[in-house]
Amino acid sequence: MSVNQQAHTGPPYGQPQPGYQGYQQPAYGGQPLPGVPQSQYEAYNGPMPGYQQPVPPQGYFPSLGFPLKGSPVSLNSDTSSLAPNFIGSLRAPPTSGAPPPASGASLPSDHLQYSQFGHGDVQNGIPASAALMQRPPASQPFLPGSVPTPVSQTSTFQQYGHPPASVQQLSNHMAGMTIGSTTASAPPPAGLGYGPPTSVPPVSGSFSATGSGLYTPYTASQGPPPTSVSQGLPLAQPPFPGQPISSQRLPTQVPGFPPLPSSTGIGPSSYPSTTGAPRPPTMPSPPLPGQRVAGPPASQPNHASSPPPPSTMSGPHPGPPMSGLHGPPPPTHPPQPGYQMQQNGSFGQVRGPQPNYGGAYPGTPNYGSQPGPPPPPKRLDPDSIPSPQLNELPPQQKPRHRIDPDAIPSPIQVIEDDRSNRGSEPFVTGVRGQVPPLVTTNFLVKDQGNASPRYIRCTSYNIPCTSDMAKQSQVPLAAVIKPLATLPPEETLPYLVDHGESGPVRCNRCKAYMCPFMQFIEGGRRFQCCFCSCVTEVPPHYFQHLDHTGKRVDFYDRPELSLGSYEFLATVDYCKNNKFPSPPAFIFMIDVSYNAMKSGLVRLICEELKSLLDYLPREGHMEESAIRVGFVTYNKVLHFYNVKSSLAQPQMMVVSDVADMFVPLLDGFLVNVNESRTVIASLLDQIPEMFADTRETETVFAPVIQAGLEALKAAECAGKLFIFHTSLPVAEAPGKVKNRDDKKLINTDKEKTLFQPQTSFYNSLAKDCVAQGCCVDLFLFPNQYLDVATLGVVTYQTGGSIYKYAYFQLETDQDRFLNDLRRDVQKEVGFDAVMRVRTSTGIRATDFFGAFYMSNTTDVEMAGLDCDKTITVEFKHDDKLSEDSGALLQCALLYTSCAGQRRLRIHNLSLNCCTQLADLYRNCETDTLINYLAKYAYRGVLSSPVKTVRDALINQCAQILACYRKNCASPSSAGQLILPECMKLLPVYLNCVLKSDVLQPGPEVTTDDRAYIRQLVTSMDVAETNVFFYPRLLPLTKADVDSDSLPAAIRNSEERLSKGDIYLLENGLNIFVWVGVNVQQGLIQNLFGVSSFSQISNALSTLPVLENPFSKKVRSIVDMLQVQRSRYMKLIIVKQEDKLEMLFKHFLVEDKSLSGGASYVDFLCHMHKEIRQLLS
C-alpha cells in the first residue's frame, strides 16, 4: 500500500475481505477511526453483531486496545518489548478537558520515570517497585555476546553493554505482553525512542537522508499524509467506542513537546549506509562489520536467515494475500526507485536493518535521545526489533502502526533456545515430573524408570491435586501416547522379558504390571501396588532379597524394575480363544476399473510389488518374513487369485455376487512369498495386460473389505488389507454411496454431516474387522469427490492409514506414492492390539482420541497399530492427589508381532502434583497441549457446528491464560497481556489450528480434503502436529553448502521473504520450494539447470540431480526432511507471482488467510480482549 492515501485501519476481525477496494474498515475491537464510519466489532470469524467493548479507561488508544496510564512504561518480562512506536512519556488528554499533568516533567532530562502500570506494561510474576532508570544515549555501541542469556529466556539477543544484575528479563514482545515469571523491572529496549518527556523531536526530513527510505515520500501534489492513530500518541479527544474521532490529522509535531534541532540524537545520517550512497534494495547484503545495527547481531538464530521485506515491486502488493489487506488500494503508479510500498497490511511497519536482511533499509532510525551521563546498560528482547518510532520519520512520513510482528513471541526463537539449552545433554528419565525438551530439539533419551518422551508426552508434568484446581485452570490433563514409536539407532529398544508360563507379575486387584514404582515389603515377599495400594504376594520364582534401601538386589538386572518401557512375552491366556496366533497376512486389493488402468496406476503397483514383497516386516533374528500374501483385483466384481507354489500359472476366480461375499478358495490364496515367487511374478505381469482394454468405470468398495475379512477369518489370522481405490463406489452393492458433496453446507448447522459417514454400514463392518484383527490401509486416487468421510471409516476404526493422491499423474506423483507404499508395507506394526491405560488413585482416563475402536470405556482396540500412530488420552480427577506421592500412568499394549508372537508393551510415567497453580503453568508443554486441542476440536466438528467448535477453543485458551493472569502473575494494569513462559506460543499455535482447513476452509479446499486432514491429524504425534500447524520455513540461499546443518528457520510470514532468495517450506505433507523473482541467475542454473527464472518448470516433482555444491546441499536438505516425516512429502515448485503462490501463502500462518483467518498480531489482540473480558 502506498502512503499517500487516506488511512484506514484493519478489517473486522476474522472476516474474509475482498481484495483492495478501499473498504472502510474499523479498527481492532471496533473503535472508530478518523473519518471512518462506525461499525460493530464482529466476533471471531462469524457475524455476531453487538459485540461491544466496555468503555475503555482514560488514556485508551484505539489502535491497540491497551490503556496508557500516566507516564511512560515499565516493562518487566522475560521477553517483552514496547509498543513499537511509543515515544516517551505521553498521556491522553483527560476527558474533562483539563490539561494533562506533566507526569515526569520534573525529572532531570537524563532520567525517565518508569511507572509500574504503564502503557503496555509488561509483568512477569512479582511486580517490581516503580524505579527511576536512566536512559542510555541511543548511540551507545552494540556489544554482541557480552552476557550469556539465562536458560529461562527465549532470547538469544545480546545486550547493549552489561545488564544490571537485577534485570532478569528482556523487554517484551507486545505492547504489554508479559511472559514467564521473573521479578525485576526491565528498562525499555534501547532504541525505542525514550527520551524524557521534552526530548521527542520531530526530525524533519532526516529519515531519507541516506536515500533509502522504505516509504514512498509525499510530495505536495500527493495529498495529505495518513492519519496515524498509533499507540502512545495524544489525540485531540479521547476516543470511545461509539464516538467517532474527528478526522483531523495529527500535527506533525507532538503538542507540548518543543522540537529539538534535528542534529540532536542520532539521525540516519549518523549510521552511514555501508556504501555511503543509497543502496538499491534489491541487492541484499548484511551490514558490514563496522556498521552499527539496530537489530540483533548477525549471529542470532532467529534472524540470522530472515529475508528483507520484499523490495520495490510495481504491480502486486508485496504484503499478505490480497484479501488479507487492510486499507486502501495500492497506487497505480509504481513506487519510486529506492523506495518501497508500505509493507504488510497491518500498518506497514519499517524495520531496522536485521542481520542478513537485504539492505533495503540502510538508514538506521534516529532514536531521539539526549546526550546524558552514561546510563545503566540495557538488554534488548530476543525477538523484538522495533519498528521505527514516529519521531524518527520526517513529518511527511509518519506511518500507521499496530504491533510490530517482531515484538511478539516467536516460535522460531523458542525452538532455537530449546535446541541450544537442551539439545546437548541427554534427557535422563529418572526424575519424576521432568518436562522433556521440545519435539523440535534433537536429544538423546536415557531411560531410568520413566518412559521416553518419544513414547509419551503430557500436556503438563505437574498436575493439580484437586479437580477444583483443574477446573479453575482449564488446562486439559492429557497424554499423547505412541506405544510402538521408532527410536533413533543410539537408543535401546525395549527389552523383551520372558517370565515363562506364569506370565508377567501383576497386582491382584487392579491388574497393573510390575514396574519401577511398585514397593517391595516384608523382606521382598510381598509388594504394594503403586496404583491401587493393594498388597500382593510375590510368586516364589520371582522372589528376591532387598538391600538396605529396600530395593531388590536384582533391581538393575530386571528391566521391569529399573526401566520406564519394556515388553513381556504374553502367555496363552492373553491370546484369542486361548491359542497362540498365526503370523499375520497382507492382502493387496487393486482397483482395475477404467480410471485406474488409464492412469497407469495398476501397472505401477504391479511392478512395485514384484520387488517390495521381499521387504515385508520381519523379526530381527529371522531370515525371512513370516507374513503371507494374497491378491485380489476388482471393479464391479471381485477377482481372487490362486498363487499356490505348485501351479505353473496363477488361477483367477471371479465372484460376481457382491451382495453375499465369500472367498472362493482357501488353499493357495495366502502364500509364502519365497515359495510362490514365480507364480506371483507371473500374476503381477498379467494383471495390467488382462484389464488393459477394460471399459468398466463403476466400482464397489465394501465387498472388497468383506472379502479380505473373510479370507483372514478362514486363515484364522490377523492381517492388513492394502486397498488401492480410485472412485466413488456407486455400483449396486452393500456400502454403495451417492455423491453428497455440497459446499453450500459450509458455515451452516448441517456442515457436520460432511464429516460423518453417509451410511452406518461401514461402522458395523469396522467392528467386524477389529474383532478379527483385520486392519485396512487405503490408498485413494480420486479425480473427483470420493467421500473420504465414509470410505475412511473402516480404515480409521481399525487403526489403519489413509493416503490420498488427488488427480494422480504418473510423472509427478509416482515417487510420492511408491515411497509411501514402501514405508507402509515395511513399517513395524502390531496386530490385534488392545491398549489400556491405568492410573494411580485420584485420576483416571476418561477420554480417548485416535484411530481405533472402543467396545467398552477402558479398552482401546485396534486391528493394527503401527509405529506412527498415537492415542491421546485425557485424564480427569476422581479424588484428591497428594504432592508427596504424585501421579502415575501405565500404558499396557497387548499385540501380535509381525512374526505372530503375542506381546505386552508397557510404558510407565510418573508426574508431580501441585497445590499451587503456578507450578502447573510452569510445567506445561504447549506443543502437546495444541496436539490435544486440535484433536478435541477435530472430533467436535462431527457433532457441532464449526463456529461453535472454534469459539469453544478460543474460550478455553482465554480461560487458561486468564487463570494464569489472575492467580500467578503479579498485579498489573489490565492493558497488559501476560503469558506464562511455557505457554507464550499458545496464541500463535492456536490461531494456526483455528485457521486450518478443517475449521476454516478456503474456497479451494474440498470436502474430501477436510475429511482426510481430520482423520490424519487425529492420530498424529506431537512432532507432526507441530510442523503441520506451524510449518518450517528455511532460507535455502542461506544454507552453508559445506556443513551438514540446516539453515536457521524463519517465521511464517510473507514479509520475511526476500525476492532475491529461495525458500523451502515443509508441513509434513508438502514441501514447497519458493523462488523469488530476483534470484540470481547462477543460483537458478545451479538448482534447476535452466538459465532464467521464466524457464523454471512448475511441473517438477523432484529437483534435478546436478553436480554442484548448492544442488547437492538443497537435495540433501530435502532428503533429510523426507526421512523425518512419516509420509513422503510432495515437492511443489512455486515461482513468485505465479498462480501456485496462493497455495503457498496459505501456509504462511502468521499472516491473514484468504479464508478469513486472523493474522497472528490480530489474534493476539483478540485473545487479549477475551482474557480481559473474563477478568472483568
Residue position matching grid coordinates 493393594: 534
Q: Choose the weakest-confidence range: 347-356, 686-695, 849-858.
A: 347-356
The number of residues in the chain equals: 1176
- Residue range 199-239, pLDDT digits in tens: 434 444 333 333 333 333 333 334 433 333 333 333 333 33
What average pLDDT is seen over the chain? 77
Report residue 257 as a C-alpha cell. Answer: 513537546
* 281, pLDDT greater than 50: no
- Residue range 250-267, pLDDT digits in tens: 334 443 444 443 433 333
* 40, pLDDT greater than 60: no
H/E element, 292: none
Predicted confidence band of residue 195 (pLDDT cuts 50, 70, 90): very low
- Residue range 591-607, pLDDT digits in tens: 999 999 999 999 999 99
- Residue range 1119-1141, pLDDT digits in tens: 999 999 999 999 999 999 999 99
Predicted confidence band of residue 186 (pLDDT cuts 50, 70, 90): very low
- Residue range 542-571, pLDDT digits in tens: 999 999 999 999 999 999 999 999 999 999
- Residue range 432-441, pLDDT digits in tens: 999 999 999 9
Query: In the prediction, which pLDDT does 1154 show?
Result: 87
Q: Which residue has the higher pLDDT, 849 or 270?
A: 849
The mean per-residue pLDDT over the stretch 457-484 comes to 97
C-alpha–C-alpha distance, residues 1005 and 996, integer Å:
10
C-alpha–C-alpha distance, residues 1059 and 1035, integer Å:
12
Q: Choose the weakest-confidence range: 56-60, 230-234, 732-736, 1012-1016.
A: 230-234
Residue type, 900: G
Residue 420's nearest CA partner among 607, 762, 157, 741 is 157
H/E element, 829: strand 829-839
Predicted confidence band of residue 179 (pLDDT cuts 50, 70, 90): low
Output the pTM of the full model: 0.71
Cβ-contact 326, 25 below 8 angstroms: yes
Edge-first strand order for the sheet with 1062-1066 is 1032-1035, 1062-1066, 1070-1075, 1130-1135
Give the C-alpha distances (Å, rounded to integers) separating 782 from 607, 786, 1033: 21, 6, 30
C-alpha–C-alpha distance, residues 264 and 72, integer Å:
21
The mean per-residue pLDDT over the stretch 841-847 comes to 97
Predicted confidence band of residue 15 (pLDDT cuts 50, 70, 90): very low
Query: In the prediction, which pLDDT does 397 show?
Result: 42
Torsion of CA 974, 977, 979, 983, to 10 degrees: 140
- CA triple 221-224-228, angle to 5 deg: 150
The mean per-residue pLDDT over the stretch 9-38 comes to 42
Residue 187's nearest CA partner among 65, 72, 66, 302 is 72
Cβ-contact 815, 838 below 8 angstroms: no
- Residue range 390-430, pLDDT digits in tens: 334 344 443 444 678 888 999 999 999 999 999 999 999 99
Residue position matching grid coordinates 539407532: 489
Cβ-contact 346, 1159 below 8 angstroms: yes
Predicted confidence band of residue 939 (pLDDT cuts 50, 70, 90): very high
Distance of CA 813 to the CA centre of its chain: 26
Query: In the prediction, which pLDDT does 994 show?
Result: 97
Taking residue 461's Cβ as centre, other Cβ atoms within 10 Å add up to 23
H/E element, 152: none
- Residue range 334-367, pLDDT digits in tens: 444 333 333 333 333 334 434 343 333 333 333 3
C-alpha–C-alpha distance, residues 875 and 744, integer Å:
38
Which segments of 968-1062 does DSSP mark as H helices, in order?
986-994, 1007-1018, 1022-1029
Query: In the prediction, which pLDDT does 25 show?
Result: 42
Query: In the prediction, which pLDDT does 402 show?
Result: 63
Query: In the prediction, which pLDDT does 974 show?
Result: 79
Backbone angles phi, psi at 707, to 5 degrees: -65, -45
Q: Choose the weakest-confidence range: 152-156, 935-939, 1052-1056, 1090-1094.
A: 152-156
* 325, pLDDT greater than 90: no
Residue type, 231: Q
* 942, pLDDT greater than 80: yes
Query: In the prediction, which pLDDT does 719 show?
Result: 97
**Residues contacting residue 269 through CB under 8 Å, at least 6 positions apart:** 206, 209, 210
- Residue range 776-828, pLDDT digits in tens: 999 999 999 999 999 999 999 999 999 999 999 999 999 999 999 999 999 99
* 523, pLDDT greater than 50: yes
C-alpha–C-alpha distance, residues 998 and 946, integer Å:
9
C-alpha–C-alpha distance, residues 1062 and 1110, integer Å:
12
H/E element, 478: strand 478-481
Query: In the prediction, which pLDDT does 197 show?
Result: 41
Give the C-alpha distances (Å, rounded to integers) separating 442 from 74, 416, 431, 438, 489: 37, 11, 20, 9, 13
Residue 153's nearest CA partner among 139, 163, 138 is 163
* 298, pLDDT greater than 50: no
C-alpha–C-alpha distance, residues 1021 and 867, integer Å:
10
C-alpha–C-alpha distance, residues 633 and 641, integer Å:
9
Determine how β-strand 60-61 pairs with β-strand 66-67: antiparallel
